[in-house]
Structure 1
Amino acid sequence: MKLVIVDRDGVINEDRSDFVKSPDEWVALPGSLQAIARLSRAGWKVVVASNQSGLARGLFDMAALNAMHLKLRRELAAVGGQLDAIFLCPHGPDDGCDCRKPKPGMFHQIAKRYDIDLRGVPAVGDSLRDLQACAQAGCQPWLVLTGNGRKTQGLDGLPAGTQVRQDLAAVADALLTPAR
């Protein structure tokens, strides 16, 4: 099975310092939906893994989050793509859960769901915590320079072997280009 795990805010859609709280605030980054569509049409299962602490903070509720994800799925379907699943951590930074990135719990949930060893599975993020979580789970970390990616690129502690690309479209290009 070809599986790719993708963060949401800053990778698929614009990130906001005050959180994406409604479907109106959820705005796809240029080319991101088309990149997911190309991957899904090529037989990849595309799974989102996203911290959503705005739930714990009371900034939005599950109905608003579901409406954002419905908008994502509709816009994606309009360009011929689909997501296989959306995994999220609803907890706040101080809740002590094991699913909030940089901990790998969400990735372990994905591995269990698909009954797969995540070793080498590409996982795309724009923040250090995304990359740390995926690396702890054995995934191949990919950093995009959208969202917080440019700032993250300059940080110490990027996991060994992190691949860096301009955006999700460039990641899709790399994954869909046969190795030579």
Structure 2
Amino acid sequence: MINKKLEAVFLDRDGTIGGDDKVHYPNDFKLFTNSKKNIDYLKQFVQVFSFTNQPGISLGEASKEDFYKELMGFGFDDVFLCPHHHKEGCKCRKPSTGMLKEATYKYQLNLNNCVVIGDRWSDMVAASKTNSVKILVKTGAGMSTLHDHFEKLKEIELDFVAENLTEAVNWISNRYHLS
């Protein structure tokens, strides 16, 4: 049994709520079955945020506005987005913690009381740096993360490895006694 209060859940986009292990721009991105239902379920209890690296924005291949519109349409309470390419050296791109810290400031969150769900090692490293609960899903790049990027996770103790978002949400519901 856990006594901590759950304050928010952060969901990665590509490979976690839909798509696959590649980036798909708005209008080409498809949610997984039950992702919207899972977002809506969590929103009954906590704030639910999207946090996503989208380097195609800095390359002029997509716009921030298109991503915000898409993600808010899926029901997120807010969207935290890094538009930078990994070579730009920003502080927001996962595995850096900039997006999580921005949410902390904007919503007065204690990240110790938040959950991060993602399919990539960079999601788990960002969560670890902020002492958030870390759930890796095996969808998208999740299996590759477990097998090919094991070295990047060796210092990190994942709280749960889920087959998919639904299993992750069920784990959260049981752990935090949501009902």
Answer yes or no: is the 8 Å Cα contact 1:5–1:47 preserved in 2.
yes
Q: How many residues align?
A: 168
- How far 1:22 moved relative to its partner? 3.0
- Specify every segment of 5 or more residues in structure 1 that has no aligned partner in the other structure, as ranges: 77-81
TM-score norm. by structure 2 comes to 0.85
Looking at structure 1, the residues matched to 96 and 134 of structure 2 have their Cα atoms a distance apart, in angstroms, of 14
Q: Does 1:102 align with 2:107?
A: no
Structure 2: segments with no counterpart, 5+ residues? 1-5
Q: Does 1:48 align with 2:53?
A: no
Q: Which moved more, 1:154-163 or 1:44-53?
A: 154-163
AA matched with 1:14: G
Alignment match, 1:79? none
- SS of alignment partner, residue 156 of structure 1: helix
Distance 1:156 1:63, change over 3 A: same
Question: 1:126–1:95: structure 2 CA closer, same or farther, 3 Å change rule?
Answer: same
Residue of structure 1 equivalent to 2:151: 156
2:162 alignment counterpart? 165
Q: 1:36 to 1:63 in 2, by over 3 A?
A: closer
Cα deviation for residue 63 of structure 1 reads 4.1
Q: 1:16, CA displacement in angstroms? A: 5.5
- Change in Cα spacing, 1:64 to 1:120, as seen in structure 2 (3 Å) is closer
CA distance in 2 between partners of 1:88 and 1:105 (Å): 10
Distance (whole Å) between structure 2 residues aligned to residue 108 and residue 67 of structure 1: 22
List structure 1 segments (4+ residues) > 3 angstroms apart after TM superposition: none
Identity of aligned residues (%): 26
Alignment of 1:29-48 (within 5 A): 29-41=32-44, 43-48=45-50
Displacement, 1:38?
Answer: 1.2
Distance 2:175 2:71 in 1: 31
CA distance in 1, matches of 2:123, 2:171: 19
CA distance in 2 between partners of 1:48 and 1:22 (Å): 14
User: Does the CA-based 8 Å contact 1:26-1:68 persist in structure 2?
Assistant: no
Q: In structure 2, give the amino acid aligned to 1:157.
A: K
Normalized against structure 1, the TM-score is what?
0.85
Amino acid at match of 1:12: I
Report if the CA contact (8 A) 2:21-2:141 is conserved.
no
